[in-house]
Structure 1
Amino acid sequence: FRCRFALSDEDGSARQVDPDTGVCCPESVAVCAMASPDPLFSVRNNFYLGAYQTAISDASSLTGLSEDQKLERDTFVYRSYVELGSYEMVLSEIPADAPPPLAAVRQLASYHKAGPSPSSPVPDALEAGLSDGALSSDPTYLYVTALVRFLRGDAAGALRLAGPARTLELLALSVQVMLSLHRPDAAERQLRAMAAIDDDATLTQLAGAWVALAAGGPRVREAASIYQELGDRFAWTPRLHAGLASAQACMGRWEDAEAELLQAVEKNPKDPDSLANLAVVSLHLGKPAGRYLGCAGWTAAWGGERGGCAPV
C-alpha cells in the first residue's frame, strides 16, 4: 500500500490510510485501532470527480452511520442532485428549517433554478445568514455563499470567505478564483495550503491540475498526468476527460484532445465544458463546430459548483 497520514474527522488524531480507499493501512494497525475507516470516502470522492450518479448510488448503500455522518451523506447526495440539474427535487425534499449544510444546498438549488437573475433573493438570503453563528461557522454554508459571490462576479467577496479558510473545498474555490483573476502566484499559495492538509486528496490533485494548466509550458504535462492518474485510479468522468483534453490541446495534440472530448460527450451529451471545448477543437481541426455550438444549453448549462478544467 502507498500510505499517507491524515487527520481523523472525529478527534484530530493521526492515522495512516490508503489514498485509494480511505482505509487504514495494515502497517499502522495500532493507529487504526483508534480511528475507523471513512465510510463517506467514496461518496465524497465521486462527487469531486464529477461522478454524481455514482456518489448517489454509493450513499444509498451506507449503513451504521452516526448522525453527523448521515448529515454529511445527505449533503453530498443533494449537492449531486443539484449538479445533475434536479433543482425541484432538492427544493421539495429539503425543508426550509434544515441544518446549515442542507440549508446551503437548498439555497444553491434555488439560485440555479432561477438562473443568473439579478433579482434572485438567494444572494441576499445567504449574506443575511452569515450573521447567524450556526450558519457562518458551517463550511458548506461558507462554501456555497462564496461560490454564489463568485458566480455573480464578486471575486473579491468570494475570496474574503474562501481565502482564509482551511478546508479543502474552500481552498479549492479560492484557487479557481485566483486563476480567474490571472493570479497564478496566489493560486500556487492556496494550492500549497491544500497540500499541507492532504496532498493526495482528489481535490488537491484537481487543483494542482488547474494551476499547472494555467502555468502552461512544461507544466501542462503535469496536468495531463494528474488527470490520467485520477481517471485510471478511480473512474473516467466527463470532468476528467475534459481536463485531459485541455492539456492535450495545450500541447498541440488536437486529435487526442478531440478523442477525449468525444468520450466525455458520450458519457454526458450535455456537459458544458466538453461541448464548449469540442467546438474549439473542431475549429482547430477544420471540422464543423456548429452542432456543438448549437447544442441547446451548453452556454447556459454552467451552474455546476466548480469548473472541472480550464477551457481550451
Structure 2
Amino acid sequence: MASPDPLFSVRNNFYLGAYQTAISDASSLTGLSEDQKLERDTFVYRSYVELGSYEMVLSEIPADAPPPLAAVRQLASYHKAGPSPSSPVPDALEAGLSDGALSSDPTYLYVTALLLALSVQVMLSLHRPDAAERQLRAMAAIDDDATLTQLAGAWVALAAGGPRVREAASIYQELGDRFAWTPRLHAGLASAQACMGRWEDAEAELLQAVEKNPKDPDSLANLAVVSLHLGKPAGRYLGVLKDVAPSHALLERRAAAEEAFDRAASGITA
C-alpha cells in the first residue's frame, strides 16, 4: 500500500489558487526527505510569487539555489521588473534548457513556458506578430501540446486575424472540452466569435463567463463592447467593471474619448 503523500495538500491548494493556505499547510509539515523539502519550498515560493511578494522571494532564494528554486527566483525577478520585450529572463531560461538537469526539471520547464507565454503577450501588445510567432515556435519546441503553448497559439492566431481566427476558436473550444470551461476560455472563444461577426454567439460565451465569475474584468469589458454591437445597453457591465477594475484599459480609453469630445464640443459652443 502506497504511503500518504505529505505534500498533497500543499500542491493541491496551489493548483486551486489557494496560495495562502498552501503556505500555511507547508509550514506545519515535518519529517520530510530532502527532495520533499525542496518541492515544499518550491511550492511555497511559487505561492508567494502569485501573491505578489516578489522582493521577499528574491531576498530569500540565493542566486545559486537548486534549479527548481532558481527558476522561481527568475519568475519573481521578471514580475518585479514588469513584462518587457527587453527582459533577459525568458532568454536565460530558454538557454538553460540545453542543460540536461534543467531540461528534465518540471518546475524549470513550467516557469520557462510561462515566461515565454508572457513574452508572446508583450510582443502582440507592441504589434510585433513576427516576434510573437518566434516565441510561439520556441514554446512549441519545448512542448507543442502544453496548455500554455495552445493558449499562446490562440492569441497569435487572433492577432493575425482573417482565416486564422477559426484556428483560435478551435483551440479555445478544444481546451474547454478537454479540461474545464473557465471564464478565460469563454472570453477567448467570444473574442474569436466577435472577430467573425458572430455577436450573438460571443454574447452567449461571455454570459457563461460572468456566470462563473461575475467580477472577471475582461469578460465584463467584452460584454460591454458586444452589447453595443448588438444595440443593447452596456451601462450595467461598465458599472460593475468600474467597481472591480477601475483602471481597466476600456474604461481609460472611454474616459479619454469623453474628455476629447467635451473639449471639441466646448470649442464649438464657444
Fold equivalence (TM over 0.5): yes
Per-residue CA deviation, residues 272-304 of structure 1 (Å, 9 max, x unaligned), is 11111111111111111111111x999999999
Counterpart of 1:207 in structure 2 is 152
Which of the pair is proportionally richer in helix? Answer: 2
Asked if structure 1 preserves the Cα contact closer than 8 Å seen for 2:71 and 2:108, the reply is yes
TM-score by length of 1: 0.49
Give identity over the alignment, percent.
95
- Structure 1 pair 299–126 and aligned structure 2 pair: CA distance change class (3 A): farther
Asked if structure 2 preserves the Cα contact closer than 8 Å seen for 1:272 and 1:298, the reply is no
Per-residue CA deviation, residues 192-237 of structure 1 (Å, 9 max, x unaligned), is 1111111001111111011001001110111111111111111111
CA deviation after TM superposition for structure 1 residue 270, in Å: 1.2
Asked if structure 2 preserves the Cα contact closer than 8 Å seen for 1:101 and 1:141, the reply is yes
Deviates more, 1:56-65 or 1:223-232: 56-65
- Structure 1 pair 299–65 and aligned structure 2 pair: CA distance change class (3 A): farther
CA deviation after TM superposition for structure 1 residue 82, in Å: 7.0
> What is the rounded CA distance, in whole Å, between the counterparts of 1:284 and 1:54 in structure 2?
43
- Structure 1 pair 216–177 and aligned structure 2 pair: CA distance change class (3 A): same
Asked if structure 2 preserves the Cα contact closer than 8 Å seen for 1:258 and 1:281, the reply is yes
- Structure 1 pair 97–199 and aligned structure 2 pair: CA distance change class (3 A): closer
Asked if structure 2 preserves the Cα contact closer than 8 Å seen for 1:49 and 1:237, the reply is no
Asked if structure 2 preserves the Cα contact closer than 8 Å seen for 1:87 and 1:112, the reply is yes
Counterpart of 1:97 in structure 2 is 64
Asked if structure 2 preserves the Cα contact closer than 8 Å seen for 1:275 and 1:298, the reply is no
TM-score by length of 2: 0.56
Deviates more, 1:208-217 or 1:273-282: 273-282
- Structure 1 pair 301–41 and aligned structure 2 pair: CA distance change class (3 A): farther
Structure 1 runs (4+) greater than 2 angstroms displaced: 34-145, 296-310
CA deviation after TM superposition for structure 1 residue 62, in Å: 13
Per-residue CA deviation, residues 226-266 of structure 1 (Å, 9 max, x unaligned), is 11111111111111111111111111111111111111111
Asked if structure 2 preserves the Cα contact closer than 8 Å seen for 1:258 and 1:278, the reply is yes
Per-residue CA deviation, residues 38-90 of structure 1 (Å, 9 max, x unaligned), is 99999999989999999999999999997556655665577568768999999
Asked if structure 2 preserves the Cα contact closer than 8 Å seen for 1:48 and 1:202, the reply is no
Asked if structure 2 preserves the Cα contact closer than 8 Å seen for 1:48 and 1:203, the reply is no
Q: Would you say 1:309 and 2:251 are equivalent positions?
A: no
Counterpart of 1:160 in structure 2 is none
- Structure 1 pair 107–73 and aligned structure 2 pair: CA distance change class (3 A): same
Unaligned runs of 5+ in 1: 1-33, 146-169
- Structure 1 pair 275–54 and aligned structure 2 pair: CA distance change class (3 A): farther
Larger relative contact order, structure 1 or 2 (CA cutoff 8 Å, min sep 6): 1
- Structure 1 pair 190–133 and aligned structure 2 pair: CA distance change class (3 A): closer
- Structure 1 pair 223–62 and aligned structure 2 pair: CA distance change class (3 A): farther
- Which structure's CA Rg is the greater one? 2
Aligned length: 253
- Structure 1 pair 55–87 and aligned structure 2 pair: CA distance change class (3 A): same
- Structure 1 pair 203–111 and aligned structure 2 pair: CA distance change class (3 A): closer
Deviates more, 1:67-76 or 1:276-285: 67-76
Asked if structure 2 preserves the Cα contact closer than 8 Å seen for 1:178 and 1:184, the reply is yes
> What is the rounded CA distance, in whole Å, between the counterparts of 1:80 and 1:298 in structure 2?
39
CA deviation after TM superposition for structure 1 residue 98, in Å: 11
Per-residue CA deviation, residues 127-146 of structure 1 (Å, 9 max, x unaligned), is 9999999999999899999x
Unaligned runs of 5+ in 2: 240-254
Secondary structure at the counterpart of residue 179 of structure 1:
helix
Q: Considering only aligned residues, what root-mean-square deviation do their CA atoms show, in Å? A: 10.4
